[in-house]
A and B are shown apart, each in its own frame.
Chain A
């Protein structure tokens, strides 16, 4: 299993600023992912955080808006850049331990409000 800690748990930010969200896992994981959950909606995958290389983004998400780092096997950051009120969402980190048929674990999320 894996325990995922996200910081901050919530924040209120001014439009036009950027926020970096940290994700720390208590064990080495093979894959890490970032999701967005807009109010009242399901989870949408933003990108796969690749260790030591550029993240793989899903359709509709770009690196300039959501830069992601993953310097090692247990840590990743997601930055929400040049924020607007439409970026108000819960951002969740997820990780997979091992390879193949294994479950994914999720953090408790970062609740972001942009004013």
Chain B
């Protein structure tokens, strides 16, 4: 079973920040938080990942709480092309098969 809990759906106005929450209360010390998204009819796309520090790249920012039991993916200026299903996944990075176990994700609808 997936180890994360996400809201089923969210809306965001175009140009505004989209904040997608994820709960992972049973995360282990050696597990990373990964975010992927799947735009309709495409394969999943990697967004960002982190262990305990906040991370930022050209696509998004990842904020992980100090106790690591939850995180938030931030898309700073959402566009219509960001409409997708967003998956939060916890994954052991080292000494693991590297497999990703997907939950149900959050469907983000960006509206004009």
User: Smallest CB-CB separation from B100: which chain A residue?
Assistant: A104
Q: Could you say which residues of chain B place their CB within 8 Å of the CB of A12?
A: none
Interface pair B105/A107, CB less than 8 Å apart: no
User: Smallest CB-CB separation from B2: which chain A residue?
Assistant: A42
Q: CB-defined interface of A69-113 with B at 8 Å, one 1/0 digit per residue?
A: 000000000000000000000001010100111111111110000
Interface pair A45/B101, CB less than 8 Å apart: yes
Question: Known: A106-B44, A109-B43. Contact between A48 and B99, CB under 8 A?
Answer: yes
For window 9-34 of B, CB contacts with A under 8 Å fall at 32, 34
- Interface range for B: 20 to 34
B contact patch SS: loop
Q: Give the shortest distance, in Å, between B73 (CB) and chain A (any CB).
A: 15
Question: Known: A31-B99, A104-B100. Contact between A43 and B44, CB under 8 A?
Answer: yes
Question: Known: A104-B46, A105-B46. Contact between A45 and B99, CB under 8 A?
Answer: yes
Q: Give the shortest distance, in Å, between B97 (CB) and chain A (any CB).
A: 6
User: Smallest CB-CB separation from A97: which chain B residue?
Assistant: B98
Interface pair B102/A94, CB less than 8 Å apart: no
Whether A33 is near chain B, meaning CB under 8 Å from some CB there, is: yes
> Could you tell me which A residues sit within 8 Å of B by CB distance?
4, 30-31, 33, 35, 42-45, 48, 56, 92, 94, 96, 99-109
> Could you tell me which B residues sit within 8 Å of A by CB distance?
32, 34, 42-46, 49, 85, 87, 93-94, 97-105
